[in-house]
Amino acid sequence: MPGASTVVRGLALLRQVGSAKIANTALRIVPMLAKLLLTVYAGRYLPFEDLGIYGIVFAAVMILNSLLGQSFSYVIVRELVDATPSEALNKMRDQLVLYGLNYALLAAIVVASTAVGFQPLPQNVLWFIVVLTSLEGIGAAVWSNMNAMHQQVWANAVFFVRSGLWVVPAVLLGLWDVSFRSASIILWSWVWGCVLSLLLVCYIWRYLPAGEILRSPVDWRWIFRGVSKSFPVWVGTIGLAAGVYVDRFVVQRFLSLTEVGVITFYGTFTNALIALLQAGVIAFAMPRLVRYHRERDNSAFKSEARRTIFQAAVSAAAVAICLALVVPALSLLTQRAALIAHLGVFWLMLLGVWLRGTAESLQTVLFSSHNDKPIWVGNLLFLLPAIGGNALLVPILGLSGVGISAIISGAFLLGWRGKFVYPLVGRACRATHRIARSNCANSDSKSRI
């Protein structure tokens, strides 16, 4: 039948161009568009102070997730690649136990600080931070675990619910009634989006042998060993997260919540670039790189690493160019003079995030080859240009200091990681990422934990 053969040929062509990658990227683009909608809506209708509060909560959640997650994903994702369903479920159960204890500690600290009268933020904002840190931390762990289990499309479907779907009712409510135009409504919508995403995870993973959780005890020795192994990486991850979001706290300190609202508006778009890069390139490359390293297929590892780095740099540049053209038009739609006046800051931030996005692909190569030390040391050192640049330049140059600091810190991270990646994948290097006998292997062995 001609019709059937046409369909078969069409499906084969779709596979050739990477249907999973297309679906995966689309599932990250849609949440990005939803956040774009939220950002334009908030920029148009919300007071900048409310947008600033949302930005502070978002930054606090991201930093606390790095702190309380203890970089445990660095341990578990390597072990989930090609693990049996039973093994995967038990390891994820133990990870959840660790996270639960950390989130309980955070809640206890908030209760204690409130009891003694210490409240750096309004009490309702503090509790939003606690709840969203817990839900987002679990959601981020699920995303990493699904990618390691070769469920990239499902991972981003869940991410869509957690990060994009809830935006629609939040915006519609605000357009319907002025009383719903507040940071609280946005934060409550975010909470319910996280809850719905976790319910979807339970449905997707219904095939896992849930009874194993009850039949096997928590492996505390594995948890402690994993925490110990991930400790240096954890320190570096905290440094990276703090470095990325410290600008909002510096701006709040030296300028005002209005200016925090401005960089929150633009930061939504720059962060979307990193998210797209992780979904469209890195999420697919990481399991392959881990497998090639495990199988000691040096040629395949180097080829995949080079391809990943090239795709990341080009893809990030393409997205950056699109954002550089689209966001100014969106700023005009908000009819806010503060946003229009600071478009130059956005372009500086965009260049900085392109540098950092390209550096993300280098981290994936280092991670897959177990070169953890250059990662955590570089992430920790990233704090110096990030905090130092913002603290020095923002009081002098205003918001322009945020953009210049982003470029300086992004260039540092790219240069640092590149220094360690080149010996692994450079054409002149015949040795590989294994502990070996050559100069490249010496570089590798020195950087292992």
Higher pLDDT among residues 35 and 234, named by residue: 234
Domain assignment present for residue 393? The answer is yes
Domain assignment present for residue 13? The answer is no
Closest CA to 323 of 282, 251, 275: 275
Domain assignment present for residue 195? The answer is yes
Name the residue range of residue 61's domain. Answer: 19-446
- Predicted pLDDT at 103: 93
Burial of 146 by CB count in 10 Å (0-12 exposed, 13-18 middle, 19+ buried)?
buried
Confidence bin at 105 (pLDDT 50/70/90)? very high
Integer Cα distance of 68 and 141 in angstroms? 12
Domain assignment present for residue 7? The answer is no
Mean pLDDT, rounded, for 32-48: 78
Torsion 301-307-309-311 (CA) sign: negative
Mean pLDDT, rounded, for 394-404: 88
- How close are the terminal C-alpha atoms of the chain, in Å? 60
- Chain centre distance of CA 301: 24
Number of domains comprising the chain: 1
Is residue 383 within 8 Å of residue 239, measured between CB atoms?
Answer: yes
- Predicted pLDDT at 370: 77
- Amino acid (one-letter) located at 424: L
Q: What secondary structure letter does DSSP report for 206?
A: G
- Chain centre distance of CA 350: 16
The region that residue 374 occupies, defined by phi over 0 for left and psi between -120 and 50 for alpha, beta otherwise, is: alpha
Domain assignment present for residue 5? The answer is no
Domain assignment present for residue 280? The answer is yes
**Reported pTM:** 0.68
- Predicted pLDDT at 449: 37
- Predicted pLDDT at 73: 79
pLDDT above 60: residue 343: yes
Which range, 104-108, 359-363, 440-444, has the best average confidence (pLDDT)? 104-108
Integer Cα distance of 308 and 306 in angstroms? 5
Mean pLDDT, rounded, for 403-428: 84
pLDDT above 70: residue 21: no
Mean pLDDT, rounded, for 266-286: 77
- Per this entry, what is the length of the chain? 449
Domain assignment present for residue 8? The answer is no
Confidence bin at 308 (pLDDT 50/70/90)? confident
- Predicted pLDDT at 77: 77
> Which percentage of the chain shows pLDDT scores above 70?
87
For residues 41-56, one letter each, b for 16 or more C-beta atoms within 10 angstroms of the residue's C-beta and e for the rest, the string is bbbebbebebbbbbbb
Phi, psi of 50, deg, nearest 5: -65, -40
Mean pLDDT, rounded, for 200-225: 82
Q: Residue ranges of the alpha helices (H) in 116-161?
A: 123-148, 152-160
Is residue 12 within 8 Å of residue 20, measured between CB atoms?
Answer: no
Is residue 131 within 8 Å of residue 60, measured between CB atoms?
Answer: no
pLDDT above 90: residue 261: no
pLDDT above 60: residue 430: no
Confidence bin at 407 (pLDDT 50/70/90)? very high
Higher pLDDT among residues 415 and 27, named by residue: 415
Mean pLDDT, rounded, for 127-133: 92
pLDDT above 60: residue 131: yes
Q: Residue ranges of the alpha helices (H) in 426-447?
A: 439-446
Burial of 147 by CB count in 10 Å (0-12 exposed, 13-18 middle, 19+ buried)?
buried
Integer Cα distance of 154 and 177 in angstroms? 35
Is residue 198 within 8 Å of residue 145, measured between CB atoms?
Answer: no
Mean pLDDT, rounded, for 402-419: 90
Domain assignment present for residue 262? The answer is yes
Integer Cα distance of 323 and 320 in angstroms? 5
Q: What is the pLDDT of residues 162-191, one digit of tens each?
A: 888 888 888 898 888 888 888 889 999 999
Q: Which long-range contacts (CB under 8 A, 24 or more apart) does 373-376 make?
A: 373/232, 373/446, 373/447, 373/448, 373/449, 374/416, 374/417, 374/419, 374/420, 374/447, 375/233, 375/236, 375/417, 376/232, 376/233, 376/234, 376/235, 376/236, 376/237
Q: What is the pLDDT of residues 376-392, one digit of tens each?
A: 888 888 888 888 888 89
Is residue 355 within 8 Å of residue 417, measured between CB atoms?
Answer: no
- Predicted pLDDT at 104: 93
Q: What is the pLDDT of residues 432-448, one digit of tens each?
A: 334 333 434 444 444 33
Write down the mean pLDDT value for the chain. Answer: 79
- For 389, the enclosing helix (H) or strand (E) is helix 383-397
Is residue 154 within 8 Å of residue 24, measured between CB atoms?
Answer: no
Closest CA to 37 of 196, 268, 337: 268
Burial of 436 by CB count in 10 Å (0-12 exposed, 13-18 middle, 19+ buried)?
middle
> Which percentage of the chain shows pLDDT scores above 90?
10
